[in-house]
Structure 1
Amino acid sequence: MMIKYPAVPRYFLLGADSEVVQILKELNAEQGILHGGAPDALDRFVRLSERLDEASPHYKIDLARSDREYKVTLRPRYRGAELDQPISFVPQLQFGDSEFDKEAALRYQEFVDFGGDVELGESHVRSFTVTAPLGLGGYFTGGSLRFSSNREDLNPALNIKLLLVDGQGRIVSSLPGSLTQRISGQAGGMLFGQDLTGFVRIQIRLDRRTHRWKLNLDYSLPSSALPATVLPVLRFLRKAKTPNYLAFSLDGIQIGEPCALPSREVVSEEAFRTVEQLERIQALTSTSFALPRELTPDDYAALLRCIDLIDRGRINAGRQSMIITLSPHRDIETLNSLDLDRPTAMRLCSPDYYEEIAGNRIYFGEANISLRSALIVNKSEFRSALDGSAAEDVRVEVMPVEGASIEVDLLSPTDIRDDTE
């Protein structure tokens, strides 16, 4: 049986308890001439790493190199290995009376109580003693220390629901998510997770001494996301302010009492309405594109025109120029009626009218475009179409004269209306 697990005889019968230090010395000596080049170096490193991993029946040992330093990581081979051969760490720390020292002492105490991460500089580390297998322990003086708790995966994850309640305890908004990891300290621990979109990161600190909890939320929108994906988070954040309160439930059971929220607005009304309008445009035109990082004034004007087309089936597109695609065959009568040299009234049919937001075209189908008085801007292309020399559709740019504007009427506006209208 022992042959199957080489770490067992090596440790108990062959005295491998100091083999880590010896292998590290060999690795240091391996920095001489390598006649075989990189493959030779890799082969030696792999062989020494395999010897290292067989040195302990209690811990798996990982070896990594960074610059000119080696990092040794011990991980229990089985549940309870850390009890069969415990690793102890006893620091001797010092903190003065300055604000800097007091803050460092508070961070360290919070790490001891609840877990997490903390780093102490040389001014706070007097010495430390490590008791560990394989010759890795010892007494050390000075230096800096970084403490980090091991995050344990929760399997299965805990279902969490973030709740916003009003002064009467009624739920006004909610956001589901899951807690997937935890860490522990002497006085409690922390749970980590996120909402279902992944935009909101959740951290809950539980204090066993007081039976109180502290909920921290951090959110950031990804570089690429659909408006429909972002909206549930924004709806929740819009109401995450006074006079509402924040609470949460785990697996359907509300935990603790709701806590007060700040009065400041997390998401502005303008930003929320813009995303809401973009989602509506995409849903009703079956056009999907990522939420733009920013909208120019022209983009925002196009957004408002899209909303008007959806709601009313017609818009006044203003006085800017417009490019219309015409066919020399289908639109020959329209082309013949236009005047190249002076402003004229125009009524054109666009087979596939579109608006453009942040480089994304939103198509609305066939539309009539009316101009009470306008000029042809690209006359050469227009002449080609008029002469019949253009074999394909021609893009004709028209510009309303002063006092006139462009009006667009969709021929099938009901195709993009809300079903409830």
Structure 2
Amino acid sequence: MGGRDAQLVTADGLTVFEIKSFGRLTSSRRRQVERSLRAAVASAPTMNRWVLVIPMNMSPVRSGIRSGEEAWFDEKLPKIAPGVELSWWGLDWLDGQIAGNTDIQRYIEGVDGQLLERAREFELERAALANGATDLRDRIDGLRRRVDEVSPFWTLDFTVDGSGTTTRLRAKVPDAHIVDPITITPTFRFRRDDPDDERLQRRFESTLSFGGSVVLPAGYVSHVEVDASPEARLLVADGDPLASEFAIRSIRETLPRPLRCSFQVQDSHGQVRTGFPVFFRERTSGGRGVALYGDDAAGVAKFEAGIPRPSQPVGQESAVKLDGARLELNLPDSLVGYDIDSLIPVIRTLAAAVEGTRIRLDMPGLGYLDGGPLQTAAYPALPPIAQVVEDLRRMQDLTGSVLRYPANIKNRDVADLRTAVRLLDGEDVDLDGGLSAGIRPEAVGTLLERLTAAAGEVVTGGFFMASADLQLEVGDLTVAYGPAAIWAPHAQIANLTELQEIAANGSTGREEVTMRLEPTDLSFKWLSRRQAEEHLASH
């Protein structure tokens, strides 16, 4: 490269390095250095510094006499490169650089140079842990240093826990894969008739194509071939590959700014029924393209999109279908704790992905993903959950409070919530079954006389019960619903005999007894919210 073994560009300018292995500077070797300097001046006119790296020091300067090497370097070479700063990095400088880097020493000398030190550490490894955790940490630190010395370019990170020992190959310098490449060729074995294996294989192939992460349990890698330098080869595990787990984890890069996309559910005519924005913030790279990682604005749904490298540039306004792309969407294991406003756009949209609709992800500047018409609902479990979320949104609007998705919701809670919303919408809603009313024991006799005077067990007319502050229980969430009223016509007293005994025997010692009412020819009804408010306002 024109008299340049290496070069470095910094804010101070261009520095060119000339690296020689000479142990002596004979006349012919000096001429080699001079030719290299002339070539550097010719090929790098902006060079402002030139460094000769050589494993020898200049001869000591004797009083009144300049050595030939020093005179040559300080007087002759500057004439070849006027205005260029010249530096000599000799044996002392090299020794100082190597002193703290045992990996480079080993790379140069082999293992023999550290045999005595290794022998001493071997005895320590065999000794008992007399000082407990302190000795353990010292030995682990020693192992870490020794692993780091194996190669100047690669090292192993390792962890030890209850499940065993895990090692991870890591580059020590950014260009390790260039100066000391490692090629690992494993052979994998997946069972074709096993659905779990088929899913794992798809995930594995996707990770190779677009980056990401995948873990193959022990038993999937049948053979491994490694092509690497002798030093790097020592860092690659050697043993029965079937006994080891195999994992690929790509480094995620943060995008300079989030990529805003649109996740949509469209009808059969391509009209958007509903949707929400998705923000991709990270990416990984693979053999075929990149994987983008993001979520909705509240982080409810996690997205992973595998995008093949385009064969030609895509314009900002181009509607190009991304063939070969893939989309993975994951919801949390539980919605408990998410605020309702965050859940609404995501759950509403996914629940709308029913048979005949299409799921589409618009990615500005890239194109779009479209899987075609759905043959079945994409998320069949979501419509009833979507109804609960929508109903909780109504309760949130009613109360003015921020509600979160509750835990421990039962079917009865869901039905009561749906009833409450229908009442808000002005409907009268049939009560499912009968109802109970609390009565003071001393009032039971008088009440029975009035209720059963004409019809016995069936009450003439009906009961009207109202409350100004009904509390609605939805799982572990309590909603202050407010005014509510029930009309129970032609009610039958289901426990009339029990109440008659209480009336005959006087107080039972209880503060309240229960009267159970069942419908006969007419059902009991919750009256609309408006009717309940009107009744309470008039009394």
Matched, 1:284 2:412: no
Q: TM-score, normalised by structure 1?
A: 0.68
Q: Is the 8 A contact 1:340 1:376 kept in 2?
A: no
**Structure number with larger C-alpha Rg:** 2
Structure 1's 363 and 376: CA in aligned 2 closer, same or farther, altered over 3 A? farther
1:206 aligns with 2:320: no
Residues 6-45 of structure 1, C-alpha deviations (whole Å, 9 max, x = no match)? 99533334659869xx98x968973652222344323432
Residues in 2 aligned to 1:398 and 1:46: alpha-carbon distance in whole angstroms: 77
Structure 2 vs 1, CA of residues 77 and 212 (structure 1 numbering), >3 Å: closer, same or farther? Answer: same
1:329 is aligned to none
Aligned with 1:91 (options 151, 162, 185) = 185
Aligned to 2:375: 263
1:322·1:398 contact (CA, 8 Å) conserved in 2?
A: yes
Partner of 1:331: none
How many residues get paired? Answer: 394
Cα RMSD for the two superposed structures: 5.2
**How much has 1:229 moved relative to structure 2?**
3.1
- Residues 242 and 258 of structure 1, relative CA distance in 2, 3 Å threshold: same
Q: Which residue of 1 aligns with 2:349?
A: 236
Structure 1 or 2: more helix by fraction: 2
Which residue of the partner structure matches residue 41 of structure 1?
136
1:219 matched to 2:330: yes
The structure whose residues are more often strand, as a share, is 1
**Distance across 1 between alignment mates of 2:530 and 2:204:** 70
CA contact (8 A) 1:113 1:186 kept: yes
**1:355 and 1:197 mapped to 2: Cα distance?**
27
Deviation for aligned residue 1:339: 1.5
Alpha carbons 1:159, 1:178 under 8 Å: kept: yes
For each residue in 1:323-365, what CA deviation from the matched residue of structure 2 results, as whole angstroms up to 9, or x when unmatched?
Answer: 5699xxxxxxxx7996167747655553422333335433233
Q: Do structure 1's residue 352 and structure 2's residue 352 form an aligned pair?
A: no
CA distance in 2, matches of 1:28, 1:305: 78
Instruction: Name stretches of at least 5 consecutive residues in structure 1 with no aligned partner.
Output: 327-334, 416-421
Aligned position for 1:161: 262
* Corresponding residue number in structure 2 for 1:192: 293
Within-5 A mapping of 1:1-400: 9-13=101-105, 30=125, 32-46=127-141, 48-49=143-144, 52=147, 58=153, 61-66=156-161, 70-77=165-172, 79-86=174-181, 88-91=182-185, 93=187, 112-115=208-211, 117=214, 119=216, 121=219, 124-125=222-223, 127-131=225-229, 133=231, 136-137=234-235, 140=238, 143-144=241-242, 146-156=246-256, 157-166=258-267, 169-208=270-309, 212-223=323-334, 224=336, 225-241=338-354, 243-250=356-363, 252-253=364-365, 255-256=367-368, 258-267=370-379, 269-286=383-400, 288-291=403-406, 295-296=410-411, 298-312=412-426, 317=431, 319-322=433-436, 339=447, 343=451, 347=464, 350-358=467-475, 360-367=477-484, 371=488, 397-400=514-517
Under a length normalisation based on structure 2, what TM-score does the superposition of the two structures give? 0.56
Pairwise CA distance, 1:188? 2.5
Q: Deviations over 1:275-298 (max 9, x none)?
A: 3223323332346342556532x3
CA distance in 2, matches of 1:188, 1:56: 31
Distance 1:38 1:89, change over 3 A: same
Identity %: 17
Separation in 1 of the partners of 2:215 and 2:528?
A: 64
Deviation at 1:306, TM superposition (A): 0.6
Higher relative contact order (CA 8 A, sep 6+): 1
The answer (yes or no) to whether the contact 1:34–1:41 under 8 Å persists in 2 is: yes
Q: Distance in 2 between matches of 1:173 and 1:28?
A: 70
Aligned residues of 1:323 and 1:398 also touching (Cα < 8 A): yes
Letter in 1 for 2:234: L
Cα gap change, 1:279/1:323 in structure 2, threshold over 3 Å: closer, same or farther? Answer: farther
CA distance in 2 between counterparts of 1:273 and 1:122 reads 44
Name the SS of the counterpart of 2:325 in structure 1: strand
> How far did 1:54 drift?
7.4
Cα distance in 2, alignment partners of residues 353 and 122 from structure 1? 60
Residues 321 and 397 of structure 1 are in contact (CA less than 8 Å); yes or no, is this contact kept in structure 2?
no
